[in-house]
Amino acid sequence: MSEQLLLKREFYTIRDFLATTLISGLYLLISYFVVGYKSDQLVLLLIFNSLYYASPITRKFILGFSIFIVYWILFDYMKAFPNYVYNDVHIAELYNTEKHFFGIHSNGALITPNEYWRVHSTTFLDVGTGIFYLMWIPVPLAFAGVMFFINRKQFLYFSLTFVLVNLIGFVIYYVYPAAPPWYVQYHGFVFHAHTPGNTGGLIKFDHFFNTPVFQSIYSKSSNVFAAMPSLHSSYPVIVLYYGLKNKFGLINLFFLIVMLGIWFTAVYASHHYLLDVFSGIICAIFGIALFNWLLKHTALKIWVDKMAVVIS
Residue 29: inside a domain: yes
* Structural domain for 60, as ranges: 1-64
* CA 184 – CA 204 distance, rounded (Å): 18
Residue 275 falls within a domain, yes or no?
Answer: yes
Of 162, 184, 194, nearest to 271 (Cα)?
A: 184
- Per the structure, the count of domains in the chain is 2
Give yes or no: residues 123 and 174 share one domain: yes
Q: Do 267 and 301 fall into the same domain?
A: yes
> pLDDT averaged over the chain?
92
Segment 184-227, tens digit of pLDDT: 999 999 999 989 889 999 999 999 999 999 998 887 776 899 99
pLDDT tens-digit profile of 240-278?
A: 999 999 999 999 999 999 999 999 999 999 999 999 999
Q: Which residue has the higher pLDDT, 54 or 4?
A: 54
- The Cα–Cα gap between 64 and 59 comes to 9
Q: For position 6, what pLDDT does the model report?
A: 44
On whether both 232 and 294 belong to a single domain, the answer is yes
pLDDT of residue 7: 46
Classify residue 70: in a domain, yes or no: no
Q: Are 277 and 207 part of one and the same domain?
A: yes
From the list 278, 16, 137, the residue with the least C-alpha distance to 8 is 16
pLDDT in tens, 71-111: 889 888 988 899 999 999 999 999 999 999 999 999 899 99
Tell me: do 60 and 90 sit in the same domain. no
Q: Which are the contacts of 144, defined by CB distance < 8 A and separation ≥ 6?
A: 65, 68, 155, 158, 159, 162
**Biggest alpha carbon–alpha carbon distance for the chain:** 83
Rounded distance between C-alpha atoms, residue 165 and residue 155, angstroms: 15
What are the residue ranges of helices labelled H in the chain?
3-10, 14-34, 39-54, 56-64, 66-77, 92-102, 113-119, 123-133, 138-150, 152-175, 181-187, 203-209, 213-218, 231-245, 251-268, 274-297, 300-310
Q: Are residues 125 and 271 in the same domain?
A: yes
Please report the pLDDT score of residue 127 as a whole number: 97
Residues 42 and 97 placed together within one structural domain of the fold:
no
Position 246: which residue type? N
User: Does residue 131 sit in the same domain as residue 247?
Assistant: yes
pLDDT of 10 > 80? The answer is no
230 and 87 inside one domain: yes
Q: How confident is the model at residue 2 (pLDDT cuts 50, 70, 90)?
A: very low
Indicate whether 239 pLDDT > 80.
Answer: yes
172 pLDDT band, cuts 50/70/90, is: very high
Together in a domain, 56 and 148: no
Query: Is 73 a member of any domain?
Result: no
228 in a domain, yes or no?
A: yes
Please indicate, yes or no, whether residues 155 and 276 belong to a single structural domain of this protein. yes
The answer as to whether 69 is a domain residue is no
This prediction's pTM: 0.91
The dihedral over CA atoms of 220, 226, 227, 230, expressed in degrees to the nearest 10, equals: -90
> pLDDT grade, residue 176 (50/70/90)?
very high
Residue 124 to residue 131: CA distance in whole angstroms:
11
Does a structural domain hold residue 75? Answer: no
pLDDT band at 11 (very low <50, low <70, confident <90, very high): low
Residue 232 lies in a domain: yes
Question: Do 176 and 234 lie in a common domain?
Answer: yes
DSSP three-state, residue 214: helix
Query: Which pLDDT does position 235 carry in this prediction?
Result: 97
pLDDT band at 3 (very low <50, low <70, confident <90, very high): very low
Residue 1 pLDDT: 42
